[in-house]
């Protein structure tokens, strides 16, 4: 399987060249069902529209045609991180402070490997977290295996779409 750090180093400059921020590079699946998932966002909106995804996909496809960084077949998926986004960068835990999240760690922290609660920001390299069961904990960022926001009404309100123009319009065939 391709090295994610090497892929990230190849992909990130292309993402930045379009004015976006890279959120995640992930390879999953096996055999002919492998998918290279690229999540990016506009720093000012925390979203990408479909035209942004298409532009980034074309740019990366052109690059991959030149350098061919992945052996065997794979599918390229370019997307916005969505509302219940993964938290992959230390500053994500600051930006989304006050919102609910789920975090799993590679090694137990205070006897637990899974946490659900409210993000409280960061202190150094530690994530401040108020877990619903364990209370206040500091989770070392280096131990985070997976973290993502939990879909709540508060999160939905905070991440309203860029524009809802036309959302209530539909076409009918005659």
pLDDT tens for 107-118 read 999 999 999 999
Domain parsing of the chain, residue ranges: 4-79, 90-158
Burial class (CB in 10 A: 0-12, 13-18, 19+), 103: buried
CATH superfamily assigned to domain 4-79: RimP-like superfamily, N-terminal (3.30.300.70)
pLDDT tens for 137-173 read 999 999 999 999 999 999 988 876 655 555 455 555 5
Topology annotation, domain 90-158: SH3 type barrels. (2.30.30)
For the chain, the average pLDDT equals 90
Q: Please indicate, yes or no, whether the overall pTM of this predicted structure exceeds 0.85.
A: no
């Amino acid at each position: 399987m391709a090295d994610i750090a090497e892929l990230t180093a190849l992909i990130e400059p292309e993402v930045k060249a379009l004015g976006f921020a890279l959120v995640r590079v992930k390879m999953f699946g096996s055999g002919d069902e492998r998918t290279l998932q690229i999540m990016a966002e506009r720093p000012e909106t925390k979203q990408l529209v479909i035209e942004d995804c298409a532009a980034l996909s074309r740019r990366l496809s052109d690059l991959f045609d030149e350098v061919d960084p992945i052996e065997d077949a794979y599918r390229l998926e370019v997307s916005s991180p969505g509302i219940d986004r993964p938290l992959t960068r230390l500053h994500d835990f600051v930006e989304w402070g006050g919102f609910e999240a789920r975090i799993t760690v590679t090694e137990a922290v205070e006897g637990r490997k899974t946490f659900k609660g409210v993000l409280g920001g960061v202190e150094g390299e530690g994530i401040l977290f108020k877990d619903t069961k364990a209370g206040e904990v500091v989770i070392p960022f280096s131990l985070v295996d997976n973290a993502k926001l939990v879909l709540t009404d508060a999160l939905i309100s905070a991440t309203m779409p860029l524009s809802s123009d036309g959302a209530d319009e539909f076409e009918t065939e005659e």
